Amino acid sequence: MMSFLPFFPSLLEELGLEGRAEVALWSGLIFGAAPLAATVASPLWGGLGDRYGRKLMVIRALLGIVVFVGAMAFATTPWQLFLLRLGQGTFSGFVAPSITLVSVQAPPGRQGRVAGTLQTALALGAVIGPLLGGLVGESVGHRAVFGWVAGCAGAAALLVLLLAREDTSTQRRRERGRHEGPLSLGRAILGGTLGDIRDAWANRSLRSGIILLFWIQFGLGATNPQLEFFVRDLRGAGATGADVSAHYTSLLFTALALANLIALPKWGKRADRRGHRPTLFLCASMTAACLWCHALAPVYAVVVLARLALGVSTAGAAPSAFGLAAAEISTDRRGGAFGIVFGARTLAVALAGPVGGALLPVLGVRGLFAASGALVVSCLLLLRPASR
């Protein structure tokens, strides 16, 4: 997925959009379309996974990538890309069911490490993805990257089908009726999803973790789609070509992912030892500081260092939040709880992308980084007394 996400500005310019404001707005909308759909769909898919199996949900998600990302190679307008991203978000959320599939079979004291290990796999893909995406895009064009991603997802679905094992004893068998019709089944799934949301929000500890994770992700989501414009400003007028800016932007995405990859196992172990919620608060504090470092960076090299630090600071947020959900919610409802945590992340990205694109002409790229850091700090100040 990370092989094509950094290049939406260049791709939109290839489709005929002109002007930074227009490209920035559409980049934010398209970037956030998939997370917006996933916000609604993830808790529903999580409830279905609790009922019928998490392995089935992983395979469904990977096949969704095959269909919708593969179709992006043939998109000719920004609207087509936007609609395909909505479809991708609705059907291809693979993170939450993957973590749930492994989490329900792990000991309670290792939930942070389990989430951290799977997040490490995501980070490794994020390190390799932009580099390979840049190579493929420069050699045969950006559209070929979409086909390459679809092929990888298809291979992954086959691996899960053949090799993954699932403990079916953790499914919600007691809620499954023998003669459920479509209407009663739909009501049961919707009722179960709403019940999962109510339980998660009523849990004070989990609620504070979800809110904090939302704003950490919001800070990243508001700035990531506009990072290519920041690179163009820093590199100067002589290096504003699409190929040059895309190359240097991919390096920044890779730097963040590489730092994530290195730091994730450490964060997972720390969360298991010292608590998931304190670890989440520490990640948020470091994230705010790193966003402000971006805003103050005078040259591209400083942004690279700030990107590495941001990768370290944000690495522990997701494992801590998923570990907190595993500690607070029973095993048979864990898929729904993980879907809610994942939905909080995707909702942040969905809202942050358009907001960042709309505010870019007003605040500039540096102002956008500064405002994102201020939002995270404000959330920390509001939640800290309740945490104590």
Which segments of the chain have a pLDDT < 70?
6, 169-193, 196, 235-246, 385-388
How many separate domains does the chain show? 1
Q: What is the pLDDT of residues 205-263, one digit of tens each?
A: 888 888 888 999 888 888 877 777 788 777 664 444 555 566 777 788 878 878 888 88
Neighbours of 344 (CB within 10 A): 23
Residue at 259 is within a domain: yes
Position 251 scores a pLDDT of 81
Query: Does 40 fall in a domain?
Result: yes
Q: pLDDT value at position 174?
A: 45
pLDDT tens for each residue of 125-137: 877 887 788 777 7
Return all residues near 358 (Cβ < 8 A) that are at least 6 apart.
Answer: 25, 28
Asked whether residue 188 is assigned to any structural domain, the reply reads no
Any domain includes 191: no
Nearest C-alpha neighbor of 233 from the set 298, 176, 187, 283: 298
Which domain covers residue 368, as residue numbers? 5-163+199-387
CB 20 within 8 A of CB 229: yes
CATH of the domain at 303: 1.20.1250.20
Residue 141 forms part of a structural domain: yes
Does residue 62 sit within a domain? yes
| Amino acid residing at 283 | C
Which class for 186: exposed (0-12), middle (13-18), buried (19 or more C-beta within 10 A)? exposed
**Residue 174, in any domain of the structure:** no
Q: Is residue 64 part of a domain?
A: yes
- Predicted TM-score of the model (pTM): 0.69
